[in-house]
């Protein structure tokens, strides 16, 4: 009896162990299934999220691509417009360059015409001035000849031609003025013209000796000058060069431009530059002629309004001759 009970108890224990084992197995399977179900759910959720993210990325990429395409199309349009503008600007630049070349050519042509007109005007003025000077010099020389002839005529009639203005010195029917002051040759010439004379011309040794006695010891301007390239010196009053007193080896004109002549203190002549300044100059003019003294009169009569033509003071020099 006890053995049967014991066997029943063992059998019951085995059944209980089998039930427990099966229960554990079922629970483990359920737990595994639940885990797989949860993992599946997680995978599905992750897949869903990933799919949504991918869709969003695709949509964003599509939008970006669309914007990029629009930007690219706009860039291409702008680039084409810029190319078109660059082409227009290049054409305009070429037109401006061509116009500038035409303007430069026209400007050069105008400058050439203007220079030609200025040269013609300068040549015309120079020619007119030369003609005026030539005519004035010729008229002045003729006037000098008339005065000389008048003096000779008066001398032949017994007139005494030795009357000079104040501060002038008389010698052989001429009057001499010995000016002092620093002047160039041309200013000395004008100074002589201001006192109705001209720079002295020397025609004899006697006249030269007279000038040596009265002229400055430092040197004086005289009326001899070279007016051309041939080196030929002439007297400015038009009288011939029939006498000279050049210093040894003069004239030299070493440097081209020594065209004016000075008289040294020794009386020797020397050609120097006309713009050099000397401290003295010598002017001359014809002396005034007065009629001879009448019988019973100690002094010759003063020339008056009733004097015969040619017996009064010398003929006046026209102002045009003094300052041409």
Mean pLDDT by 10 residues, the chain (324 residues): 61 67 81 85 84 84 82 82 86 87 85 82 67 60 62 64 89 93 95 94 95 94 83 86 92 78 94 94 89 58 40 43 42
pTM score above 0.95: no
Identify the pLDDT of residue 101: 87
Please report whether residue 21 resides in a domain: no
Distance, in Å, from the CA atom of 198 to the CA atom of 319, rounded to the nearest integer, reads 13
Identify the pLDDT of residue 30: 85
Question: For every residue of 261-316, which 3-state class applies, written as one string?
Answer: EEECCCCCEEEECCCCCEEEEEEEEECEEECCCCCCCCCCCCCCCCCCCCCCCCCC
- Cβ count near 3 (within 10 Å): 7
Number of structural domains (the chain) is 1
Please report whether residue 223 resides in a domain: yes
Tell me if 284 sits within 8 A of 178, measured CB to CB.
no
Identify the pLDDT of residue 3: 58
Please report whether residue 152 resides in a domain: yes
Please report whether residue 165 resides in a domain: yes
Q: Which domain holds residue 144?
A: 134-288+307-322
Identify the pLDDT of residue 314: 42
Please report whether residue 257 resides in a domain: yes
Distance, in Å, from the CA atom of 100 to the CA atom of 281, rounded to the nearest integer, reads 61
Identify the pLDDT of residue 136: 56
The count of C-alpha atoms lying within 13 angstroms of the C-alpha of 33, restricted to the half-sphere facing its C-beta, is 6
Please report whether residue 91 resides in a domain: no
Identify the pLDDT of residue 181: 94
Please report whether residue 97 resides in a domain: no
Identify the pLDDT of residue 248: 92
Distance of CA 206 to the CA centre of its chain: 55
What DSSP assignment string belongs to 200-259? ----SHHHHHHHHHHS-TT-EEEEEEE-STT--EEETT--------BPTT----TTS---
CATH assignment at residue 240: 3.10.100.10
End-to-end CA distance of the chain: 186
Give the phi and the psi of residue 318 in degrees, each rounded to 5: -60, 145
With b meaning 16 or more CB within 10 Å and e meaning fewer, what string describes 92-119?
A: eeeeeeeeeeeeeeeeeeeeeeeeeeee
Please report whether residue 58 resides in a domain: no
């Amino acid at each position: 009896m006890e053995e049967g009970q014991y066997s029943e108890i063992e059998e019951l224990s085995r059944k209980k162990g089998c039930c427990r084992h099966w229960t554990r197995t079922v629970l483990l399977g359920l737990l595994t299934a639940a885990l797989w179900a949860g993992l599946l759910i997680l995978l599905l959720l992750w897949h869903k999220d990933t799919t949504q993210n991918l869709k969003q990325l695709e949509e964003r990429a599509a939008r970006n691509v669309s914007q990029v395409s629009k930007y690219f199309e706009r860039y291409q349009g702008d680039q084409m417009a810029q190319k078109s503008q660059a082409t227009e600007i290049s054409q305009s630049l070429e037109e401006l360059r061509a116009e500038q070349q035409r303007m430069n050519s026209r400007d050069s042509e105008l400058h050439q015409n203007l220079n030609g007109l200025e040269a013609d005007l300068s040549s015309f003025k120079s020619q007119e001035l030369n003609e005026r000077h030539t005519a004035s010099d010729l008229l002045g020389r003729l006037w000098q000849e008339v005065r000389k002839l008048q003096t000779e005529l008066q001398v032949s009639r017994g007139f005494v031609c030795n009357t000079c203005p104040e501060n002038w010195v008389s010698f052989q029917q001429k009057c001499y003025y010995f000016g002092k002051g620093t002047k160039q040759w041309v200013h000395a010439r004008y100074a002589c013209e201001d006192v109705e004379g001209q720079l002295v011309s020397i025609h004899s040794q006697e006249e030269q000796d007279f000038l040596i006695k009265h002229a400055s010891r430092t040197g004086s301007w005289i009326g001899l000058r070279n007016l051309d390239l041939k080196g030929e010196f002439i007297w400015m009053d038009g009288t011939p060069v029939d006498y000279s007193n050049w210093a040894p080896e003069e004239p030299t004109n070493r440097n081209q431009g020594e065209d004016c002549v000075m008289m040294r203190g020794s009386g020797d002549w020397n050609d120097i530059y006309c713009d050099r300044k000397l401290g003295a100059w010598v002017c001359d003019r014809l002396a005034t002629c007065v009629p001879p003294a009448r019988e019973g009169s100690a002094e010759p009569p003063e020339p008056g309004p009733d004097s015969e033509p040619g017996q009064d003071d010398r003929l006046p020099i026209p102002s045009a001759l003094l300052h041409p």
